[in-house]
Amino acid sequence: MALVLVTGSGGLIGSEAVRFFNNLGFTVVGIDNDMRKMFFGEEASTDWNVKLLRQHCKHYIHYNIDIRDHSAVRKIFSAYHNDIELIIHTAAQPSHDWAAKDPYIDFSVNANGTLNLLENTRTYCPDAVFIFTSTNKVYGDRPNTLPLIEHDTRWEIASEHEYANGITESMSIDQSKHSLFGASKVAADVLVQEYGRYFDMKTAIFRGGCLTGPNHSGTKLHGFLAYLMKCVVLEQTYTIFGYKGKQVRDNIHSYDLVNAFYHFYKNPRIGEVYNIGGARYSNCSMLEAIDMAESVCGRSLNWVYTDTPRSGDHMWWISSVEKFKSHYPDWNFVYSIQDIIDEIYELNKDRWLTKNYYFLSSSRHVTKTAQSEVPSVISVKH
């Protein structure tokens, strides 16, 4: 049976990938040691999600190991060897704020951990497809040099600008302030490119905007929409950092991202780089997100504002997905920004209020007809 290896399998994208490929009949091997709890505290733990995967995904095998552990990772790769057809690498230290507190751990997880996985892939299953979840932070603060226009609720770019439909992969990653997190992800990003080009391996780098969905263990330092909604539901205070709350993010649902991974897996290329996010289809400013969250919950958010933005934070980011769609024209978005916010609320409100964890995929229902070459199971929402 074909096997998919997923790192960070308890996290937002990792768990979505586990469910997605489990539903397609793949054996899925997951690696996750809940470092998110160490990074951000108990509320950010992924343990609840791993328990659900073990309970409900019959083709799932879990390993509680650290991706930096050479011996443990090698044992997994040597055990499954050429049965591994796809590696989806989502494990990471994901916060630029946290990285500044402990650069050693940040770099070792993001860069050295990625190297460990790449080298084992090259050694034990060189024909496998390797997909890396990178970040738009590899561009540093260069997007903040764009000529933005202030509107009532957001910053925007002129309709005639070359990036009007989103920032493309042509933007330079050099001579900008990345944050230490951004720097460690740049290292990993370039490694994945190089293993593709140097060793002729089927690798892809997806530079994500805001990745989101109901399975996000959102916390103050990571998980924008999930944490915002959680603050509304639990009547906790939310802090906006700079840019008048008009900073813009494109938000892509974890399902839409993993669906993009699937399309690449079916027809892989060598060392490709893709910007990926909600693009013009799914985006919002901070103020707009607050307004939508309040409307869904029927209550106001308690929030405070500080003039100082987070170091290296983007004032405006909308991804261009034109390159990916030119390579994979049958892929498209399923979730709009309103869909995402509605779902985060509906599938988490009881869990947040009662701390009872349930299987978020149990209410899946078909919403669109699948593309011709993609199994119908992948065109469903949660």
- CA-closest candidate to residue 206, choices 153, 248, 256, 240: 256
The predicted structure's pLDDT at residue 157: 98
Question: Residue 251: beta bridge partners?
Answer: 210
Quick: pLDDT tens for 309-362. 987 789 999 999 999 999 999 999 999 999 999 999 998 898 888 865 444 443
**Sequence-separated (6 or more) residues with CB below 8 Å from residue 132:** 89, 114, 188, 189, 192, 203, 204, 205, 206
Q: How many Å apart are CA 92 and CA 94, to the nearest integer? A: 5
Q: How many domains does the chain have?
A: 1
Quick one: how far is CA 163 from the chain centroid? 22
Domain range for residue 172? 3-381
Domain of 229, CATH number, reads 3.40.50.720
Task: Report residue 174 as tokens.
Answer: 């050099």
- 270, exposed or middle or buried, with CB in 10 Å at 0-12, 13-18, 19+? middle
The predicted structure's pLDDT at residue 371: 35
Does this model's pTM top 0.85?
Answer: yes
Quick: pLDDT tens for 96-112. 788 899 999 999 999 99
